[in-house]
Amino acid sequence: MKNGADRIVDVLTAWGVDHVYGIPGDSIDTTVDGIRRQADKVKFIQVRHEEVGALAAAAEAKLTDKLAVCLSIGGPGAIHMLNGLYDAKMDHAPVLALLGQVDSHLLNTGYFQEVNTPHLFEDVAVYNRSITSVDHLAEIVDEAIQTAYSKHGVAVLTIPDDIPQQKVAAAFQPSAVPFQTTIPTVPADKVAAAVDLLNRAKAPVVLFGTGIKHASQTMQKFVEYYKLPFIQTLPAKGIIPDDHPNSLGQVGKLGTKAAYRAMQNADLLLLIGTNYPYTAYLPKPGRVKSIQINLEASHLNKRYPADIAIQGDAGAVVEEILNSSLQPTDGKFLKDSQAAMATWNGWVKAKTELKGSPLAPEVLFNEIKNIAAKDAVFAIDVGTATSWSARYLPVGPRQSYTISSWLGTMGCALPAAIAACQVYPERQVISINGDGAFAMVMEDFVTAVKYRMPLINIVLNNEKLAFIGYEQQSAGQLNYAIDLADMDYAKFAEAAGGIGITVTNKQELASALKKAAQSKDKPVLINAYVADDAPLPGQIVLDEAKGYTKFGTQFLAKYKKMPKLPPIKDIMRHFF
């Protein structure tokens, strides 16, 4: 007769789960023991911090669109997981978290490490249950997974440690095989109205989000036939290859000037598969017409007023538009946008040829591009790593790009790289982190060593919380509390059992990347000393200009000298 822990593993394997991230401990040990007994079916990946386990699960779910699982003890371990689970929640990734709890007879006695986890996780979870009996444990695990998939979020189960070791007689058949989500049918009347708007537009622009992830070919066909310039949100980067001739990159602080100008000059805005929050970079409401397509109804008409709002699968809706009486534009707006993008790309290319030591970040990312495999996975951390990758790391059709897009949590890249190595063992994995972000999770570099994961981990070492410094400046504030004590991250990597290399110039970097790309069973850490160069917004808007002016005035008054500024030609290019 099986016990509850065995049933948990049975349900997980029925749903295709073959590994779990976590740390064992007293209040989760009976569940972990069930995994041990079926280790041939479910691999236990031991992390060094519960947050890393949760962040790895979140990244895996984002990369694969499949459920990922993490576990921890109750109390402190569960609390550590919250950050990673919020990342999953905010990026709509299906994750199951199994949390331990004190034995049932000790509940509500204020026992050691007893925390009210159902209350604590109420906001993060789309499904949140505390197990009280072994009898329906398997059914609840199955329902939790169903809900995580159908609601694109986090399911949390709190399990008192005495319950999984109890025997259960009844068999249970998981619902994995018959399960499927319902997709709304495409409304013909709204498609006809959308086509009518499209046929009348002279200067349309489209902003794509991750909702087009499984319809990239359809979207390419759409932008090419209709002669449409397109922008992609950062989490959608590379879904349509960055080098597509109609691409204008991203829009916003990390975007391109061409994208900003296209938004300002458009007469029709299409928002497809996105809930883009930075509305200041969209056309002023009421100035242009808008067509919005999204599978999630709550995202329609949320950020921008919609003239036509269509709930449905983006690929299916656009396919219907293409099969209707859609007529291409005359292509003038596209040509103008392409010309602006060509000018931008010329600026970008010139920056990749900068010389000197420490490295220019633009040079570093260009070198990464040169050694990246055709199917590389890029795990990008929050901060300047995000800024520079947005502009200087083109993502191709077979490559993957993952970030913490909505929570924006520092320390997300290394856990994502660990997850990528686990689910894509044959693909090259490159994680890029600032020194501030990497220091938050660096203990788990040894996890990559332990499981012989040949990831390439690059630390952008400028001894500073650089992006926070830029934020302070643009807000008109003097820089404060952003300097970091230097650390020899390469020596750390060697101490952890990996390969560590320090680089300060382009030649050293090229050699290090070549060596890293050849590693087959060890992670490589490249400690790259980079220049503290500000990634200017694609278009400096008035509020930012006022902020930088205020910062400069305060700096001059306090230090009796001008602050270090980007070259005046760069400022002029991004402002006018």
Q: What is the DSSP string of 104-134?
A: GGGTTTT-TT---HHHHTTTTEEEEEE---S
Which sign does the torsion angle of CA 98, 101, 103, 105 carry?
negative
Q: What is the pLDDT of residues 427-459, one digit of tens each?
A: 999 999 999 999 999 999 999 999 999 999 999
Compare 323 and 179 and report the one with higher pLDDT.
323
Q: Which two tokens stand for residue 361?
A: 């970040």
Q: Identify the band that residue 576 occupies on the pLDDT scale cut at 50, 70 and 90.
A: low
Mean pLDDT of the chain: 93
pTM score: 0.94
pLDDT value for 473? 84
Smallest CA-to-CA distance from 242 within 227, 259, 226 is with: 259
**pLDDT, mean of residues 411-439:** 97
Q: At what angle do helices 216-226 and 314-322 cross, to 10 degrees?
A: 30
- The answer to whether residue 572 sits within a structural domain is no
Total tally of structural domains belonging to the chain: 3
Each residue's pLDDT tens digit, 220-265? 999 999 999 999 999 999 999 999 999 999 998 889 999 999 999 9
Asked if 327 and 358 sit in the same domain, the reply is no
- 325 with 426, same domain? no
- Is the pLDDT at 572 greater than 80? The verdict is no
Query: Residue 247: what pLDDT?
Result: 97
Please report the beta strands in 314-471, taking only residues with DSSP state E, as ranges in sequence order. 377-380, 400-402, 429-434, 456-461
The proportion of the chain whose per-residue pLDDT surpasses 90, expressed as a percent, equals 79
Q: Each residue of 108-131: pLDDT tens digit? A: 888 899 899 999 999 999 999 999
Q: What is the predicted pLDDT for the residue at 546?
A: 81
Lowest mean pLDDT among 28-32, 181-185, 323-327: 181-185
Same domain for 373 and 306: no
**What's the CATH number where 257 sits?**
3.40.50.1220
pLDDT digit string (tens) for 517-568? 999 999 999 999 999 877 777 777 777 778 878 887 888 788 787 777 677 6
User: What is the CATH number for 407?
Assistant: 3.40.50.970
Cis amide leading into 160 (omega within 30): no
Entry field: residues in the chain: 576
Q: What gap in Å lies between CA 379 and CA 222, rounded to an integer?
A: 29
Distance, in Å, from the CA atom of 425 to the CA atom of 39, rounded to the nearest integer, reads 19
What domain range is 495 assigned to?
354-529
Task: Categorize the per-residue pLDDT at 181 as very low, low, confident or very high, splitting at 50, 70 and 90.
Answer: confident
For the chain, give the percent of residues with pLDDT over 70.
98
Contact 163, 134 (CB under 8 A): yes
In a domain, 576, yes or no: no
311 within domain boundaries: yes
pLDDT attached to residue 575: 65
Q: Whole-angstrom Cα distance, residue 18 to residue 12? A: 8
Say whether both 315 and 362 belong to one domain. no
- Note whether 261 and 365 are same-domain residues: no
Q: Are residues 333 and 370 in the same domain?
A: no
pLDDT tens readout for residues 454-474: 999 999 999 998 888 888 888
Q: How confident is the model at residue 386 (pLDDT cuts 50, 70, 90)?
A: very high
